[in-house]
Amino acid sequence: MSDVLRRLERLRAPAIGLGCMNVSHAYGSPLPEAEAVRVVQHAFEVGYRHFDTATLYGKTANERVVGQALAGRREEVFLASKCGMAFDPEIGAKRIDGRPETLRRQCEQSLSRLKTDHLDLYYLHRRDRQVPIEESVGELGRLEQEGKIGGVGLSEVSAATLRQARQEHPIAAVQSEYSVWTRNPEIALLDACRESNTVLVAFSPLGRAFLTGTLRDPARLEEADMRRGMPRFSADNYPRNLALLAEFEALARQRECTPAQLALAWLRGQGADVIPIPGSRTAAHQKENLAAEALTLDAGTLALINAMMTPDQVVGARYSEAQQADIDTEEFATARGDGDH
């Protein structure tokens, strides 16, 4: 068993964690701070123990929210954050910076905002192509040796980068988008993780709300919502993707669960070393997602879902070309529709 899974087990944490990003970042207007704090507090109250944030989210506001929400509960939670990509006020945009001195400074700042002296897991949010991965990971390894972080993680990297990085220091976890709708880790990353007992933390396990069945018209999203710039959510592509969802929704009804619960149960069916971290702004959705813990899918049901929304059926790339340029992941050559590249 990996060290991450052992620590989660000691906390009696559910297999489903909470991605905290969406209360402060990317999906339309951020929640007012007091409301955001309450959302994270409620997640703890209903049973979540794995909380994921980042320096980037909300221009550091998300870390402050999580720190306030979990104050006094530090030893009861598994706390993860990320460095190496942050909002730079000088350029008015995010900047990827994997230099060792930057990562150390951001770690110290994250610890302060999160009101703690250590993080259980600290990810390099993006690989900086201008800095050798060994230098970035080496500095994170030193932070681990100093007790400031419990494990080194990587985010949105390829199998090749993971193998290169772990020559410098063990990698406890890799975070990547993974869902029924987005299976890129199955190209090579999942196998590479399993070579070295590295857990895969699956962000956007509900397909950025697509798999919940509640998002019918992306045109109604706020202008600031990042999905507006994603090819799969375009006016041409989204209706074709919705048509693929119908069979999945029917299976959820048959299983007497919600589509979101079915999507999370499918991910849990990929192995105990795959940890989904759905985000939610509402108490009802937090409870709905966590209830997927009780849903176990047999081999026949998993096979049925495997045949749905396959990469050759899904229309559009998961990121725009500009977004894709920032990451280092394998992509399916069979992506269809707008954004093919």
Catalytic, 238? Answer no
Catalytic residue among 27, 48, 57, 123: 57
The residues that bridge with 95 in the sheet, in sequence order, are: 86
pLDDT reported for residue 337? 47
Q: What is the pLDDT of residues 246-256, one digit of tens each?
A: 999 999 999 99
DSSP codes joined into one string, 116-165: -S-BSEEEESS--TTS-HHHHHHHHHHHHHTTSBS-EEEES--HHHHHHH
Out of 63-72, 105-114, 236-245, 322-331, least confident range:
322-331
Rounded Cα–Cα distance for residues 121 and 7 (Å): 11
- Residue with tokens 């849903």, as numbered in its chain: 295
Q: What is the pLDDT of residues 128-158, one digit of tens each?
A: 999 999 999 999 999 999 999 999 999 999 9
Residues in the chain: 341
Domain range list for the chain? 3-225+263-295
* CATH no., domain 3-225+263-295: 3.20.20.100
Give the predicted TM-score (pTM) of the model.
0.96
Q: Tell me the H-state helices in the chain.
A: 3-10, 33-46, 61-69, 100-113, 133-145, 159-165, 189-195, 238-254, 259-268, 283-290, 299-306, 321-324
Neighbours of 218 (CB within 10 A): 20
